[in-house]
Structure 1
């Protein structure tokens, strides 16, 4: 079960990296001084990526919990 815990930790870190990347992308878009429509379009592109990264992180945490419960 140790593999499940370490694998889950790796998946969770990958999801966290995705979340940080989304935050940086939105911050750069806000600082660029884009117009309202352009900023809205950029945010709409980031939302699915943000949700995917959040899901990946949650799955990783579930893997860690299952590994700890079974081990």
Structure 2
């Protein structure tokens, strides 16, 4: 079950990379001087990516826990 732990860690890192991407994209959008409507549209788009990244990260953490408990 060690493979499941390492695979889960890799999935978790992929989710964290997605979260960092969302944070950096939001900072870039805020500094771009967009209008309020454009900034809201960009935020709505990033919200979907943010939730997806959280989901991937949680799935990875669950894989790690299952790998530890089973192995």
Q: Hey, which bits of structure 1, 4+ residues long, moved more than 3 A?
A: none
Residue 41 of structure 1 deviates from its aligned partner by: 0.5
Question: How many residue pairs were aligned?
Answer: 71
Partner of 1:12: 12
What 5-or-longer segments of structure 1 have no aligned partner?
A: none
TM normalised by structure 2 equals 0.99
Aligned CA RMSD, in angstroms, stands at 0.3
TM normalised by structure 1 equals 0.99
What 5-or-longer segments of structure 2 have no aligned partner?
A: none
